[in-house]
Structure 1
Amino acid sequence: MPWWIWLVLALFMLAMIGAGIAYAIVHGLRGLKTAGQVGARIGEIMDSMQQPTEPHDEPAPSFTEPLRDVADRYAQAHVAIIEREHATRARHIRQWARWNNQD
């Protein structure tokens, strides 16, 4: 091969190496900027976690209350579930009846 082909290949190789380095630098700086923003957001969240909060009036755990109270709450919740299921079943029955009457 003539000498000028080697020169063109060497110059092309150097240009590609330079382009690769520039690409890596540009994307590296962009990544550092994004990482800085994420770090700032995490810092804000951690700072807000360190702030004292007002005490919450949380209900007492059920195992500390009398069993009768817990059983009553469970029974009321179960009644609500049964009523919801009954309402759903009644809606389905009405819908099927309407579809059957359209024939």
Structure 2
Amino acid sequence: MQWWVVWVVLVLALLVSLAAGLWYAFRRGLAALRLVSSLGDVIGNRFAETDEFDEPQPKPASFTVPLEQSIDKYSSAHAQVMRREARKHERHEAVWRRWSVFNE
């Protein structure tokens, strides 16, 4: 076998493996582009959905509103707490009354 035949075979093998590698990289690149494109569509749809809903404006902090409004809000909340505590106390008293006559 001639020495140059070995080099021809090696060069052909190099060219075939190079072509196969380029073909594989091209196919994987196209698949990645399709995946990124579909992912971009999904993300775009999600952002479009969030843009459709108008979020309600948050309530201003208590130190940024007039003092009378803060006092009114606090007093109404405290009145609610007191009513809730009174209802709870009445329920407990009713249970104790039922228990006191249960064993008679």
Residue 59 of structure 2 aligns with which residue? Answer: 59
Distance in 2, Cα, partners of 1:67 & 1:9: 91
Q: Which amino acid aligns with 1:10?
A: V
Name the Cα RMSD after superposition: 2.9
Identity among equivalent pairs (%): 24
- Unpaired segments of 5 or more residues in structure 2? 75-104
TM-score, normalisation: structure 2: 0.53
Deviation at 1:65, TM superposition (A): 4.3
Equivalents in 2 of 1:50, 1:57: separation in Å?
Answer: 15
Superposed CA offset, 1:25-73 (max 9, x none): 12101111111111111220232133143x6373232221428948xx7
Output the CA distance in 1 between the equivalents of 2:58 and 2:22.
58
Deviation for aligned residue 1:14? 0.7
Name the CA distance, whole Å, in 2 between partners of 1:50 and 1:13.
54
**Structure number with bigger Rg:** 2
Aligned residue in 1 for 2:46: 45
Structure 1 segments (4+ residues) deviating >6 Å: none
Q: CA deviation at 1:3?
A: 1.7
1:35 has 2:51 as partner: no
2 CA distance for matches of 1:61 and 1:18?
67
In structure 1, the gaps of 5 or more residues are 74-103
State the aligned residue count: 70
Aligned to 1:5: 6
